[in-house]
Amino acid sequence: MKPSIVTSEGSPHMGRSLKQAIDTQQLGLTLRTVYEGSVDTQPITDTHVELLLRLRQKERELRRVG
């Protein structure tokens, strides 16, 4: 993936110094590292399991009808 540099306002880097720009690839890697080290290791709550099961049931019902 080619790194893209955008300004903090979201527009492409045009003539601004790199200190004023955000390297989105580096930001993504940093966020992924934080996520994998904390949120990703947490168990799925019973509420989320219930929602996933209800979604699966709804999908099956829609397949039978359609």
Q: Count CA atoms closer than 13 A to 32's CA, side-chain side.
A: 6
φ, ψ of residue 37 to 5 degrees: the values are -85, -10
Which residues make Cβ contacts (< 8 Å) with residue 16, sequence separation at least 6? Answer: 7
DSSP 39: G
| Greater pLDDT, 6 or 28 | 28
* pLDDT per position as a tens digit, 12-65: 555 555 555 778 888 999 999 988 888 878 888 999 999 999 999 999 999 998
The pTM score is: 0.41
